[in-house]
Amino acid sequence: MLFVYRRTRRRTPRWWTSRPQGAAVVAVALTDAAHGRIIASASASGDVTFFRVSHSDEGSSLSRVGYAATGTPTGGVAFAPAGLRAFHAPTLAFAGADGVLRFFAPRDASTATAWEEVGTYEGKTPGAALTSVAWRRGGETSGVVDFPVIATTATYSSDREHSIAVNVLAYDATYARWNLLKEIRGGSLPTRAELTARARCSTWSPTTTARGALDLAIVAGTQCVIYEFTGVTVNSVESAREIGMLAHDYEVNNASWNASGSALATAARDGVVRLWTANLQSGAWQEYAETK
């Protein structure tokens, strides 16, 4: 069942849900307000259903406005941020277990109906399964990076081990295509013999650094690895380097940046939320607070 929650302006909050849609929902995404309120839900079988949220004096409701069958389970779904000049309609990225990144958009942008596949990107690693997808959100319409950027994580088999790869892509609106800027393997990314090796999430810092760099955090196993990308264009990246490895004693489930990109919160299976920041002098990332 897909649950949708909205707090009304009434003094007593009222919450509402959608009706069951068959197979279990394993991923969900919500558009920015500028695109209206569109929800995408992905089922365990790889079906994607799109809903539009409507509000009236009588209450709120969900109406189905689109459907797509991908035929493969998903590692995650995410809507593009509003304001991207390259896209004129809300666009959903679907990370497939078959290693293909699929993009969906409505045929009629004004009503957000008749959703269809509008593009794909297939990674270069044979047998890879995508496990997460993240759009870079803050500052896409201004500053040094004013084009869509996406990060995906994937699990693949190599020499009887299951390893993790990170791909960073940029959209070239001139040629209407996604370009691979950087593929990262190894380093502090864990390599395991178990089938459970996977990156749980990837998240971009919402702002560029003082040097115009983009920071990306990858949650994998008991680690959260932070990468810095400088000189990012639609065709290439000048440099990509690991700038932080936040080690935990237990598996990390999630990570989230603050609004300025100066601090990162992580949540682990030991029930502790930790707050991390970079030392202003050395640049080394370190833990400075945790829940008790």
**Two tokens at 147?**
């084009």
The pLDDT of residue 271: 93
40-86 residue pLDDT tens: 999 989 999 999 988 777 777 889 999 999 999 999 999 998 878 78
Q: What is the pLDDT of residues 136-173, one digit of tens each?
A: 976 544 456 788 999 999 987 766 566 888 999 999 99
Q: Which residues pair with 228 in a beta bridge?
A: 215, 241
3-state SS class at 208 = coil
Our CA dihedral for 142, 147, 148, 151, rounded to 10 degrees, sits at -90
Q: Is the pLDDT of residue 245 over 50?
A: yes
Report the distance separating Cα 225 and Cα 161, nearest Å: 20
Say if CB 95 and CB 152 are below 8 A apart: yes
Q: Residue 2: what pLDDT? A: 55
Edge-first strand order for the sheet with 149-158 is 129-135, 149-158, 161-172, 177-185
User: pTM of this prediction?
Assistant: 0.86
More reliable by pLDDT, 40 or 2: 40
pLDDT for 141: 46
**First and final CA of the chain: distance in angstroms?**
34
- Give dist(CA 148, CA 268) in Å, integer: 30
Q: What is the pLDDT of residue 86?
A: 83
- Kindly state the average pLDDT of the residues 259-268: 92
pLDDT at 58: 77
* For the chain, percent of residues with pLDDT exceeding 90: 49
**pLDDT given at position 193:** 38
Higher pLDDT, 147 or 35: 147
